[in-house]
Amino acid sequence: MLRAKINKDGCLELMRGGKFKEQLCPNYYGVKSCGDWCPLFGDGFELTRIEGFDEYKFKLSCCKTNIILNKGEFEDLRIQIPSKQYHQERHQMLHEHLDELFADAVTHGGLKVKNTILDLIGWSSKQAKELDHGDKTKLPSDKKKE
């Protein structure tokens, strides 16, 4: 059963009386939700080994306490899982760029079809560090600043 969540705005909500209730910051003068805006708020629920427990637990560190939960008792709604369509479009775009990179490596870099993907990555990394096209690399927005 869900007992805690970080909502899409980064605020901590705990199950109280059968409902999720946004928790208030005990250190803020005024009314402010406990959340990821605060430097004392942890980076989310982290899997950790806690003394006194046989299995790993999930821990969220806050300014005054640690919230300890089991898997399935919390959710972090700040994490957005891309849609299947977005994933497919991104995958297709990455393949197009990989095809272009490979063609460039074979045409200009001397790589052969028998080379490995690691050879391609190494060549690409070296090219990214050494490329110097002079003024051709300036963006139109850069020219306006001059």
Specify which residues 69 forms β-bridges with: 58
Specify which residues 13 forms β-bridges with: 5, 22
Spatial distance between the Cα atoms of 121 and 2, rounded to a whole number of angstroms: 43
Tell me, what amino acid is at 52? G
The whole-number pLDDT of residue 24 equals 92
Q: Residue 47 phi/psi, 5° resolution? A: -70, 125
- Summarize the chain as % helix, strand, coil (round to 5): 35, 20, 45
pLDDT averaged per 10 residues, the chain (length 146): 90 94 89 91 82 82 88 85 76 84 81 80 80 46 48
Q: Residues 3, 69: contact at Cβ < 8 Å?
A: yes
The whole-number pLDDT of residue 81 equals 67
Beta strands at 4-6 and 74-76: parallel, antiparallel or unpaired: parallel
- Give pTM, 2 decimals: 0.52
Say whether 14 sits in a helix, a strand or coil: strand
Task: List the structure tokens of 26.
Answer: 């005990």
| Length of the chain (residues) | 146
Spatial distance between the Cα atoms of 46 and 98, rounded to a whole number of angstroms: 35
Domain residue spans in the chain? Answer: 4-76, 84-132
